[in-house]
Amino acid sequence: MSCTCSSTYDIDQAAIGYGQALDRTTRRIVLCAGTGCLSAGALKVRDALVRQIADAGLPIVVELKAEDEARGIQVGLSGCQGFCQQGPLVTVLPENLLYCKVTEADVPEIVATTLVGGKPVDRLLYRDNGGQACRGPAEIPFYSQQSRIVLAQCGVIDPESLEAYCHAGGYRQARRAWRDLGDKELCDLIAASGLRGRGGGGFPTGRKWEACRIQQSAVKYIICNADEGDPGAFMNRSVMEGNPHSVLEGMMIAAKAIGATAGWVYLRAEYPLAVKRVKRAVADAEAAGLLGDDVFGTGRGFRITVMEGAGAFVCGEETALIASIEGHRGMPKPKPPFPAEKGLWNKPTVINNVETLAMVPLILDMGVEAFRARGTKGSPGTKTFALTGHVANTGLIEVPFGCTLRQIVFDIGGGVVMDGKVCGEEAFKAVQIGGPSGGCLTREHLDLKLDYDSLRGVGAMVGSGGMVVMNTKTCMVDVARFFMTFTTAESCGKCVPCREGTRQMLAMLDEVVGGRADEGTLARLADVAQTVQIASLCGLGKTAPSPVLSTMRLFKDEYLAHVVAKRCPTRTCKALSPPEIDAEICKGCGLCIKACPVGAISGERKQAHRIDYAKCISCGACITSCKFKAVA
């Protein structure tokens, strides 16, 4: 749908009308409808709530609209609320009760106890490490330790309602930018805020905009890079699913600043819910005349097109992304010229990622000083991270730059998980930050203040925001091999250093975990990694060796154990993890001696047996034969 006339949509009236509709509700029940909670059955919980509330004879409002006079309990959906470990999540307002891991079977009790009886269902409340029940987000460390700005509305508003976004203050700053602020004024404002690109490199956003603004061209483009592809990363996806209009508003402001006439959202097709909600947001904004030929009555037009990418990791790189939009194979080009000079169809183009664009209207709203009050001098503001791995509270978080790893893992994350238990610092081994382009942080970095510059100083990077926590039972060689497997498969193959170098690194890592390597292999691995880092054409190749170089530097002893002692210290690598007999469990029955085909096990009857590793072929016969599970 397109609009060729001036907007007749009054965002202020829409906000007032929606607010009045909210005031008519007696209670609100908000279900997290992010991808994680949806996959865990959130829609079934929603449907059960609607049925049970109706059966209880309570008035109900399923879809909240400004023009409706309906009163009652409103049951609605939000985007990702972040606390993925505890989903499906159900919030009851105005009590602000947060129920965790809710199933259809829990719904009758919620209706009877809370909606009718006015009391919380204690068993569905989150309990902290001390066993204390927490009624709502303000009492839950996962939420209370964060500083949620970009994510503030993601778990609150209906992501498919333009009115809901307007009620939250949406499109006011876009209107201000188009009507009241000049292009250079906007670029200077963003430059003064210190906003840096949240997609990985951390390049100053204001400088990028200004470089495009000064180009003499009647046609310019703004592109939202929504091609988030790091393993374990879901920050951009969650913003698009939970507050898509914030991204569109950021694009509109950027378009005014640089003089763009059209915008593109390049979104990977692997995110069907994000695709659906972003397309719905664009259609609604066009229908309202917020996008079209006459934006906010200025006589200038701006439109946005959503393009689904096929999921190639390399298309996260600017020039490869541009090639894909143009209909070519997604392969990077040498720079300069930079996209700000010659980008999409050789026209000046600015490319910002989802989180960067969603930050823009917030900066205009709160002001430069308020934004810079968060974070550090060189890295102002906040950053979203996808916290995953061996941590008690996995999910989507947002913290100010300058926050320490200790605060994220132990305060927000709730501690390290090992053997099914929540443990302290002694169980923490490392965090892989920045995905396959990043590096490792270890126990010695727990108190490092995280920002662009400090992480670069220790051989890591913020990246897009993936953060994988690993306990002491994790093999760091195997971790490096995992990321190298990913980058090898995702290399576009255009330049030899990346195409062949990543394959060689993966082959050598296979030798290390397979017990076929020696110290010379490690020397060659480091040499190839450094060559790929220096000689590759684009950012994918230049950062592909980072996990390998990082783990080799920080966990040298673990690599040496693999190639010299031929042992995997964590017993992760099967070829280097021969069976062991637990002397405390072994009964000395002799069954493993009989089962061993090479006579590698010895010992007296009724005494703990032993394995001669010089003979052992790791066939597993002793493990299978032991009735007491003493061999593992």
Interval 507-537: pLDDT, tens: 999 999 999 999 999 999 999 999 999 999 8
Burial letters for 152-172: b for 16+ Cβ neighbours within 10 Å, e otherwise?
A: bbbbbbbbbbbbbbbbbbbbb
Output the average pLDDT for the chain.
93
Q: Give the three-class secondary structure for 253.
A: helix
For residue 334, pLDDT over 90 is answered with no
**Nearest-angstrom CA–CA distance, 359 and 150:** 6
Among 536, 563, 590, give the residue marking a domain's end: 563
Identify the pLDDT of residue 5: 41
Count of domains for the chain:
5
Interval 110-138: pLDDT, tens: 999 999 999 999 999 999 888 899 999 99
For residue 1, pLDDT over 70 is answered with no
Per DSSP, the chain holds a count of helices (H) and strands (E) of 25, 20
Examine the domain organization and report whether 359 and 412 are in the same domain: no
For residue 3, pLDDT over 50 is answered with no
Does residue 162 lie within any of the structural domains?
Answer: no
**Nearest-angstrom CA–CA distance, 227 and 238:** 13
Q: Which two tokens stand for residue 49?
A: 């709530």
Examine the domain organization and report whether 189 and 337 are in the same domain: yes
Identify the pLDDT of residue 215: 96
120 and 96 Cβ atoms separated by less than 8 Å? no
Identify the pLDDT of residue 6: 45
Does residue 570 lie within any of the structural domains?
Answer: no
Q: Which two tokens stand for residue 381?
A: 């503001």
Give percent of the chain with pLDDT exceeding 70.
99
Distances (CA, A) of 460 to 441, 463, 472, 478, 551: 8, 9, 20, 18, 11
**Nearest-angstrom CA–CA distance, 596 and 618:** 10
**Edge-to-edge strand order for the sheet containing 303-309?**
303-309, 262-268, 221-226, 349-353
User: Whole domain around residue 440: which residue ranges?
Assistant: 382-474
Interval 465-485: pLDDT, tens: 889 999 999 999 999 999 999
Examine the domain organization and report whether 269 and 225 are in the same domain: yes
463: left (phi over 0), alpha (psi -120 to 50) or beta: left
**In this structure, what CATH number is given to the domain that contains residue 405?**
3.10.20.600
**In this structure, what CATH number is given to the domain that contains residue 625?**
3.30.70.20
Identify the pLDDT of residue 632: 85
Examine the domain organization and report whether 591 and 553 are in the same domain: no
Does residue 161 lie within any of the structural domains?
Answer: no
Task: Identify the H or E element spanning 15.
Answer: helix 11-23
Interval 416-458: pLDDT, tens: 999 989 999 999 999 999 888 888 999 999 999 999 999 988 8
pLDDT band at residue 7, thresholds of 50, 70 and 90? low
Does residue 593 lie within any of the structural domains?
Answer: yes
Q: Strand pairing of 303-309 and 395-400?
A: unpaired
Identify the pLDDT of residue 310: 86
Peptide bond before residue 88 is cis, with ω within 30 degrees of 0: yes
CA torsion sign for 491, 496, 501, 504 is positive
Examine the domain organization and report whether 490 and 459 are in the same domain: no
Examine the domain organization and report whether 79 and 97 are in the same domain: yes
Q: Strand pairing of 221-226 and 262-268?
A: parallel
Among 440, 474, 508, give the residue marking a domain's end: 474
Q: Give the three-class secondary structure for 468.
A: strand
Examine the domain organization and report whether 483 and 468 are in the same domain: no
Does residue 207 lie within any of the structural domains?
Answer: yes
Does residue 399 lie within any of the structural domains?
Answer: yes
Identify the pLDDT of residue 53: 95
For residue 343, pLDDT over 50 is answered with yes
Q: Residue 49: name the closest of 119, 108, 112 by CA.
A: 108
Examine the domain organization and report whether 328 and 390 are in the same domain: no
Which residues are within 8 A (CB) of 175 and not within 5 positions of it... i.e. 6 or more apart?
Answer: 11, 296
For residue 404, pLDDT over 90 is answered with yes
pLDDT band at residue 371, thresholds of 50, 70 and 90? very high
Distances (CA, A) of 601 to 74, 617, 622: 68, 11, 9
For residue 4, pLDDT over 70 is answered with no
Examine the domain organization and report whether 179 and 139 are in the same domain: no
Identify the pLDDT of residue 436: 85
Identify the pLDDT of residue 459: 85
**In this structure, what CATH number is given to the domain that contains residue 122?**
3.40.30.10
CA torsion sign for 123, 127, 131, 134 is negative
Q: Which two tokens stand for residue 574?
A: 């099967």
**Nearest-angstrom CA–CA distance, 234 and 256:** 29
Identify the pLDDT of residue 2: 38
288: left (phi over 0), alpha (psi -120 to 50) or beta: alpha
Identify the pLDDT of residue 114: 96
Residues linked to residue 220 through DSSP beta bridges, in sequence order: none
**In this structure, what CATH number is given to the domain that contains residue 330?**
3.40.50.11540
Q: Residue 375: name the closest of 143, 150, 153, 194 by CA.
A: 194
The pTM of this model reads 0.90
Interval 263-283: pLDDT, tens: 999 998 889 999 999 999 999
| Over residues 308-322, mean pLDDT | 89
| Over residues 88-94, mean pLDDT | 95
Residues across the chain: 632
Examine the domain organization and report whether 420 and 284 are in the same domain: no
| Over residues 362-390, mean pLDDT | 96
Interval 280-291: pLDDT, tens: 999 999 999 999
Task: Give the distance from CA 110 to its chain's centroid.
Answer: 31
Examine the domain organization and report whether 469 and 492 are in the same domain: no
Examine the domain organization and report whether 197 and 264 are in the same domain: yes
**Nearest-angstrom CA–CA distance, 514 and 566:** 9
Identify the pLDDT of residue 71: 86
pLDDT band at residue 8, thresholds of 50, 70 and 90? low
Among 343, 371, 399, give the residue marking a domain's end: 371
Does residue 569 lie within any of the structural domains?
Answer: no
Does residue 139 lie within any of the structural domains?
Answer: yes
